[in-house]
Amino acid sequence: MKEATFSVSLVRSTVQYAATYKGIDPKSLCAAIGIDPKMLEMPDSRVTGETNRAMWHEIVKLTGDDNIGLHIGETFNLAMIGIVGYVLFNCQTFRQVLENLSRYTRLFSQGAYIHFTISQGQVLCDCDIVTHLKNYLLEEPRQPIESTFSALLTTTKTLTGNSLIPDAVWFQHPRPTDISEHQRIFHAPVHFSQPTNRLIFDAGCLDWTVLSANPSLLSMFEQHAKAMLNELSQEGTYTNQVVRAVTHGLKGEVPSIEAIAHSLAISVRNLQRELQAEGTSYQQLLDETRKELALRYLKKFDTPIHDIAFLLGFSEPSAFHRAFKRWTGKTPRAYR
């Protein structure tokens, strides 16, 4: 069973909260949860649910805050979720915000999806946990789901200037010993061990105007979001994922299969097995990617050949020349 993955942007948001509000060193926190701090600079990359589980365990342990999810949600910044945040910033109404949040949730989380219905004048906004993937949220939903609902209230205030006061809040996980923070944040009856995770509020809120609405920007950002969603839907093959990761990682050094596997949230052995099933190998994809990039770079006449060799991770220009001649039958200079 494949594992649900989550955007690095969510990890970065939590790490920044820990640093800003709790004085926790980001590098130490990254080391404790097993990720390279440089990953935080690649917010569109993905991490496994196990990495997220480790992150929540570690931040609760370091802060001693059992309500850390709620508190992170209170400080949530829409820009932290990248293109989805920009889409929401430019919606015209709160209804459109929820529609687009539902549409693009997968861009930052494969572990849960948000959707809403209207019944008897109330909005039933659900955050359902994905069950067809290996998903840590099935076992430990509390902090991330509480953070999601708290963040939704914060986002509503940011976008509309209005405070969203639910009629009721449902959580699937068991009731914590102390729910005073839940009551403070939601200002509503909070119920636990429910059949779903749900915010219930008046449907009139859907007509609230978004203060930062800009139809032109919305159209532009939606095009980008749709393209990313389409790419995510098509990137099921590990071949495509490895090619993208290698292209990103070829910056003066050759990325190891261990580094690529880590960035794709899969073990080296499983990655090799998946690539074999797709009729290829890591070395073959690395070679093909370097060739394609070499052909692309050589079309830029202002880029010296020795710089291209460096960018592609060759130890010296002569090694690049040999590889290029093997690929094309020509030297780089003759090809150019």
Would the pLDDT of 24 be above 60?
yes
Place of tokens 């440089």: 38
Would the pLDDT of 303 be above 70?
yes
**What is the total residue count of the chain?**
336
Q: What is the pLDDT of residue 234?
A: 63
Mean pLDDT of 108-117: 92
| Domain 235-335 in the same topology as domain 5-230 | no
Q: What is the pLDDT of residue 204?
A: 98
Q: What CATH number should be reported for the domain whose range is 235-335? A: 1.10.10.60
Q: What is the pLDDT of residues 118-144, one digit of tens each?
A: 999 999 999 999 987 789 999 999 999
**Per-residue confidence band for 201, with pLDDT thresholds at 50, 70 and 90:** very high
Would the pLDDT of 145 be above 90?
yes
Q: What is the pLDDT of residues 53-70, one digit of tens each?
A: 999 999 999 999 999 999
As a whole-number percent, the residues of the chain with pLDDT over 70 amount to: 99
Q: What is the pLDDT of residue 1?
A: 57
Would the pLDDT of 88 be above 70?
yes
Q: What is the pLDDT of residues 205-260, one digit of tens each?
A: 999 999 999 999 999 999 999 998 887 776 567 888 898 889 888 877 899 999 99
Mean pLDDT of 189-208: 97
Cα 5 to Cα 26: distance, rounded to the nearest angstrom: 21
**Per-residue confidence band for 274, with pLDDT thresholds at 50, 70 and 90:** confident
The rounded mean pLDDT for the chain is 92
Q: Which residue has the higher pLDDT, 113 or 278?
A: 113
Would the pLDDT of 307 be above 80?
yes
**Per-residue confidence band for 175, with pLDDT thresholds at 50, 70 and 90:** very high
Answer yes or no: are the C-beta atoms of 13 and 154 closer than 8 Å.
no
Would the pLDDT of 336 be above 90?
no
Domain ranges in the chain? 5-230, 235-335
Q: CATH number for the 5-230 domain, one of 3.90.1520.10, 1.10.1200.10, 1.20.1250.20, 3.40.50.1100?
A: 3.90.1520.10
As a whole-number percent, the residues of the chain with pLDDT over 90 amount to: 69
* Helix axis angle, 142-160 to 49-63, nearest 10°: 80
Cα 24 to Cα 281: distance, rounded to the nearest angstrom: 41
Most confident of 102-116, 151-165, 285-299: 151-165
